[in-house]
Amino acid sequence: MLLTMKANLQDCLKENSLINEKKYMLPQTIKDAMSIVRSLGEKYLWIDVICIVQDDLNTKHHDIRHMDIVYGKSFVTIAAMHGNDATARLPGNPSRYPASTGDRINRGLRG
């Protein structure tokens, strides 16, 4: 799984660097989160293990202390609450289901 470390930081900072999945082996949970963000029309996704340099303790502690700001200013928060690890799918991910064709409502029914 991709972790941002001092050794790969410059590579991770390049535009579209996560597109090369073979190089980074993104877990399914992250792929699903990326799909959800795209489906919402958003461009940015914060993933702690990618956005925080894991082996730079000073920066890591600084960033962790400011997580309230990151999450407080977010459009939406996606939390992986199911599954045993990062290979689990996110439930309800739109990319897992066919597009809805819409429903009809029959107003003549009484119950």
* pLDDT (0 to 100) of residue 101: 41
- Residue 12 pLDDT greater than 80, yes or no: yes
Which residues make Cβ contacts (< 8 Å) with residue 80, sequence separation at least 6?
A: 29, 33, 86, 88, 90
pLDDT value, residue 108: 52
The per-residue pLDDT for range 33-72, each reduced to its tens digit, is 999 999 999 988 999 999 999 999 999 999 999 999 999 9
pLDDT above 60 (res 99):
no
Using pLDDT thresholds of 50, 70 and 90, give the confidence band for residue 90.
Answer: confident
Question: CA–CA separation, 32 vs 28, rounded Å?
Answer: 6
**pTM for this structure?**
0.71
For residue 54, count CB atoms less than 10 angstroms from its CB and return exposed for 0-12, middle for 13-18, buried for 19 or more.
middle
Residue pair 45/77 in contact (Cβ under 8 Å)? The answer is no
Q: How many helices and strands, by DSSP H and E, does the chain display?
A: 6, 0
d(CA 14, CA 105): 49
